[in-house]
Amino acid sequence: MKKSWDGEQDPLAALAAGDPELFEAFVRTEMVTLLGFFRRLGGSQDEIEDLVQDTIVKLFRSANMYSSSDRFEAYVFRAARNVWIDSRRRAGVRGAVAPKADDDGADFMPNVEGGEPEPFEQIEAMERSEILMRAVQRLDDAHRIVFELGVIQGLSYSEVSDIAGVPVGTIKSRVHNAVRKLRDMLDLEGLS
């Protein structure tokens, strides 16, 4: 995530206390994180936006039941992962939605606003992002979610284990395998 939301900055704890400002700030700041998260897991732009919307609604509805003893970041990704699993289940009935590695990502192009990097640097960053996305999408589901949570989002192995519902030892092994495979793939693409 772009910043830490734990402790006094916890958006759901604030929302439960009647203060929606932190939650609004969280959505504005981290929406792009969630879009990237779902984008790497696979789906069209419309589907990704729906998934982010569902995650935000889920978080908003759960504010009253939220325990601030949880780490907020892990809580958000648990909700996001559940939304993704539900969508995969629904897609399984209609016909599995395969990750769209060839999506040009035009809708995900960054806005050019004041204070942002120069356009050339942005394009370069977007290219790197696309390369990473294509490589991640070539992993299987189990390795993709573990790589996303453990490597990209930097959650601890125990948090990833809680979210994915598999033992820490398995997470450790999956992260290692995912990193190894991606290094091989990205070496060819020149990202690493």
Partner 1 sequence: MNSKGSPLDPESLTELALHDDAGSLRNVCDESDLSELAELKAFVSACREAAAAGTADSALADQMLSVAQSEDLSWRGDLRLLGGFVRDGLRSSALLRLAAASLLLHIAAVPVLAFFVFTGEPALPEFRVELGDRELPYALPDSSHSDDRSEVEVVEQEALNTLLVENTLRWSRWQVSITEHLREEVSLGAPVWLLERAGILWGSARDEGLAPLEISNHTSAAFIRAESALDEFLTLGPAAREKSKLALRDVLQFVGSPEAPATWLALSSIARAESYGVVHPEAAEVLKLARSSMPAGHRYRALLEVDGDLRRRMPIDPLWVAALAELDPTSTPGTWLKSFEEITELGAR
Kindly list the residues in this chain that would bind partner 1 in the complex (CB under 8 A): 2, 20, 24, 27-29, 31-33, 35-36, 40, 49, 52-53, 56-57, 59-61, 64, 86, 89-90, 92-93, 108, 110-111, 113, 116, 122, 125-126, 128-129, 131-132, 150-152, 154, 156-157, 172-173, 175-176, 179-180, 182-183, 186, 191-192
Q: How far apart are CA 170 and CA 88, in angstroms?
A: 22
**At residue 67, what is the residue type?**
S
- Which C-beta is closer to partner 1: that of 102 or that of 113? 113
Range list of H helices, 62-140: 72-94, 119-137
Question: Which residue from 154, 105, 102 is spatially nearest to 125, judged by alpha carbons?
Answer: 105
Number of C-alpha atoms within 13 angstroms, CB side, residue 165?
Answer: 4
- Which C-beta is closer to partner 1: that of 78 or that of 126? 126
Q: How far is the CB of 132 from partner 1 (least distance, A)?
A: 4
Query: Residues 36, 50: contact at Cβ < 8 Å?
Result: no
- Which C-beta is closer to partner 1: that of 131 or that of 166? 131
Q: How far apart are CA 136 and CA 143, in angstroms?
A: 9
Q: How far is the CB of 70 from partner 1 (least distance, A)?
A: 19
Q: How far is the CB of 147 from partner 1 (least distance, A)?
A: 9
